[in-house]
Amino acid sequence: MKFDISIKNFGKIDNATIKLRPFTVLAGPNSSGKSFITKALYSFFSTINADHVTIETLKRTTQIKRIAEVLGSTFQNPSWAVNYALNDFVSSINLIEEKIEDTFVKNTFSNQVSRSFLLKEAIDKLERSFNNLMSATVARKYSKIREHSDPIKQNINRLKKIADNPSECLVAGIRDGVINALKENFQVSNLTDLKNYHSGDEEFSSFNLDKLGKIEIKKEVLVFSLNASSIDEFQKLYNVVYLESPVYWKMIDALNSVRESNQFLRLRRLRQTDYLSGVPKHFYDLVDLLKNKIKSSDSISFEQGAIKKEIGGEIIISKSGDLYFKEEGYAKNINLHSTALGITNLGIILLLIERGILANGSYIFVDEPEVHLHPAWQKIMINTLFELSKKGINIVIASHSIDMMKCIQNIMEKEESLILEDHFGINQLSAKGESINISDDVFKRISSIKNDLGKSFYDMFLDSK
């Protein structure tokens, strides 16, 4: 996917224009805004990629089903009429689930709108069967059902609203999803904390996302207008993934415990500041992808032998969801705590490919892929990511490694046909969070980045003289 994105007044970014291409590079000195861009785009893309209509309808249907199960266990010696009405109600719930599968699942938003009438018929039947159950349980011994009638009515009404107007459900899902993703990925309690502190009081953060649309953050309010056809395109995307420090994976057991504690706090409806954990949402998103069933798609063929040989094995995931390093030639699995961080960095990439999490149509954001990697392994990492970009996986890396920039330059010099196809998006940021648009020529851009990143070494060389 190819986008030209403009960003204003967000975090460290003052005014930047970013070229997103199949292989995208964001380069610049520390604190230039690279991570702000990647985390914001991940928050947007992963939220828009989610099927909010299906998620909400299944959520409401599941709540009704759970109540129905409770009702079934509370009835003692029900009459034939009550038993028939309850079975009909349960059958109607099952029909709703089937219709959701046929109407919404695996369909883009436009198709969901055109097929929503199929769900309406099933919802009408569910409402009739519920009313019949209410009529059949007027006797005193069925009084407990009255305690559960209001939640059932509320969920049925919500289902009717979704079927009548799926757009309203989608808008609410994107709005709430983006707000929560931004807060949790940046670990802030207020959206205003993400505004560029150099900007004026009346200015606001804005993202012009090209053909996708616009997103603006005005104090604590998210305002957006997105193109329906582009939403469809994003919903066809495979998984959207963000990789940051490999240290998280070495602490995964402790971090999962933190997550469980925070979920308990959420149930108590405490304030956002009470359950910010310091662990970004994108890490837990990826943990869930590794553990749970993911979207189906054609897997990619990728030769992993060279990388496995270089790191001496591979990272595997057990049936219980635990991660281990399996060293080549040894049967015993090694805990990630006992492996080098560089092994984790490269090993996770291979695991994502093997598990089918990265496939044609994926987006992967990698923040500082050079971390904990020897220059030789940095070359392996770049070559791996580039090969993935040729297989339809959208790569976005944020880096300040001059070694990686040289690797990318070498690749571009060998891939003239891909340059003509606009495969590479080379973006340079200044220390002030502004785009440095030295040229449209990708070679001049990468040279400018190398000169900037190599300046400190050159200065040290002069100091030695």
Q: Read off the pLDDT of residues 302-339 as tens digits, 9 standing for 90 and up.
A: 777 888 888 888 888 877 778 888 888 888 888 888 88
Residue 3 has a pLDDT of 92
> Cα–Cα distance between 376 and 380 in angstroms, integer?
7
Which residue would you say has higher pLDDT here, 297 or 68?
A: 68
Mean pLDDT calculated for residue range 4-24: 96
User: Considering only CA atoms, which of 341, 441, 346, 367 is closest in space to residue 27?
Assistant: 367
- On the question of pLDDT at 367 being above 70, the answer is yes
H helices of 304-398, where? 305-311, 341-354, 375-390
pLDDT at 179: 96
Query: How far is residue 436 from each of residues 321, 389, 423, 426, 440, measured CA to CA in Å?
Result: 44, 24, 20, 11, 11
Q: Is 382 buried (19+), middle (13-18) or exposed (0-12) by CB count in 10 A?
A: buried
Domains of the chain in start order, with CATH, are 53-168 (1.20.1440), 247-372 (no CATH)
Q: Residue 119: is its pLDDT beyond 60? A: yes
Whole-number pLDDT of residue 272? 47
At residue 461, the pLDDT reads: 60
Structure tokens belonging to residue 99: 């219709």
pLDDT band for position 197 (50/70/90)? confident
pLDDT of 274 above 60: no
pLDDT tens-digit readout, 246-255: 888 878 877 8
Residue type at 158 in one-letter notation: R
- Residue 105, CA distances (Å) to 98, 158, 361 in order: 10, 18, 18
- 257 pLDDT more than 90: no
> In the structure encoding, which two tokens stand for residue 430, read together?
């200044």
pLDDT digits (tens, 9 = 90+) for 227-243: 888 888 888 888 899 99
The string of pLDDT tens digits covering residues 139-182 is 877 777 777 788 999 999 999 999 999 999 999 999 999 999 99
Query: Distance between CA 250 and CA 338 in Å, rounded?
Result: 9
Answer whether residue 396 shows pLDDT above 90: yes
Please say whether the beta carbons of 381 and 346 come within 8 A.
yes
- Mean per-residue pLDDT over the chain, rounded: 87
| Three-state secondary structure string covering 356-375 | CCCCCCCEEEEECCCCCCCH
pLDDT at 293: 54
Q: What is the average pLDDT across 393-404?
A: 94
Q: Are 369 and 337 in contact (CB under 8 A)?
A: no
Task: From residue 201, give the alpha-carbon distance in Å to each of 125, 179, 219.
Answer: 53, 21, 10
Determine how many CB atoms are found less than 10 A away from the CB of residue 91: 12
Question: The whole model's pTM is what?
Answer: 0.90
> In the prediction, which pLDDT does 271 show?
46
Q: Residue 18 region, left (φ>0) first, then alpha (ψ -120 to 50), else beta?
A: beta
Per-residue pLDDT tens over the stretch 417-457: 999 999 999 999 999 999 998 889 999 999 999 999 887 76
pLDDT at 273: 45
